[in-house]
Amino acid sequence: MAVVLVDAGGTNIGSVRYALQRLGVEAALTADPVTIRGADKVILPGVGAAGPGMARLRELGLVELMRSLTQPVLGVCLGMQLLCTHSEEGDTECLGVIDAPVRRFHEAPGLRVPHMGWNALASVRTHPLLDGLAAGEQAYFVHSYAVPVGDYTVATSDFGGPFSAVIARGNFHGMQFHPERSAGVGARLLQNFLSL
């Protein structure tokens, strides 16, 4: 199975790559369109801001390619947000393969942004990405922007209200948390993606 990590400048690329190695998968890090199109699975990691993330994809000539992929694609953290239509972060037009907005969390008493740390996942519909996930299992989050709950939502988490923790539409999937930092839960969810 050929798995590629899109080299879009995310600072979590190394940790995602290592998490895949622990699952027995060597993922190529690439920005080459031919390699990406020919892969069995494509992962778009990302840590940082939406504007520079999209600028990097444009600079590499990968925007239309990413939109046209038909194999399973997984966006992680910022990578998930880039799969959506628009981010409030820098008023950024994103890839638009999942019809969802990305909005900044509102600070409130007891709610400090960014949302950082372990938080429970709650399944809202059956999906192969969640196979083997027990109720209340936790994942590790670090983010200031989130995707609201919609028909694309597979699992939610709560930070001053529910938000999308896992999304899916067709062959495009996203995890807002860091599966590579989420111990056994993260490993299981990555393995579920590899098994799609």
Residue 81, SS3 per DSSP: helix
**Which one, of 15, 14, 28, lies nearest residue 186 by Cα?**
15
How far apart CA 19 and CA 30 sit, in angstroms, is: 17
CA dihedral angle for residue 94, residue 154, residue 189, residue 29, rounded to 10 degrees: -10
Neighbouring-strand partners of residue 123: 155
75 phi and psi angles, rounded to 5 deg: -100, 135
The residues annotated with a catalytic role in the active site are: 77, 178, 180
How far apart CA 21 and CA 33 sit, in angstroms, is: 23
